[in-house]
Amino acid sequence: MLEVLMIITTVALVGGYFYILMKRRKNQDNPHGWKGYVTPTVFLLAPVLALASYLFEFGGMVTWFILGFAFLSGAYFTKYLPQPEESHS
């Protein structure tokens, strides 16, 4: 039962984040190309990898190394994120 709840929660959170990301990025200019998508991709793939490692009992140093490298590269590429436009509402 715990595994089903974890899968449902992960799918809902990743799907919601993907929807919000695409909605906000629809009208924004991305002058850096693919570099602006590295950080959001890391934030989308990290919970999926963590869930898969838990469900398939593939924990340990390999998963920690992959997640650590992913978060470090995501942190590095935050400087290429597009700047949010100010709204005067």
Q: What share of the chain is helix, strand, coil (3-state, %, to 5)?
A: 75, 0, 25
* Cα distance between residue 78 and residue 41, in whole Å: 11
Q: Give me the mean pLDDT over the 12-23 stretch.
A: 89
Residues 32-60: tens digit of each pLDDT: 788 888 999 999 999 999 999 999 988 88
Are 35 and 79 spatial neighbours (Cβ–Cβ below 8 Å)? no
Q: pLDDT-derived band of residue 68, with 50, 70 and 90 as boundaries?
A: very high
pTM listed for this prediction: 0.73
* Cα distance between residue 77 and residue 89, in whole Å: 30
Are 38 and 82 spatial neighbours (Cβ–Cβ below 8 Å)? no
Q: Please give the DSSP secondary-structure letter assigned to residue 89.
A: -
State yes or no: pLDDT of 28 exceeds 80. Answer: no
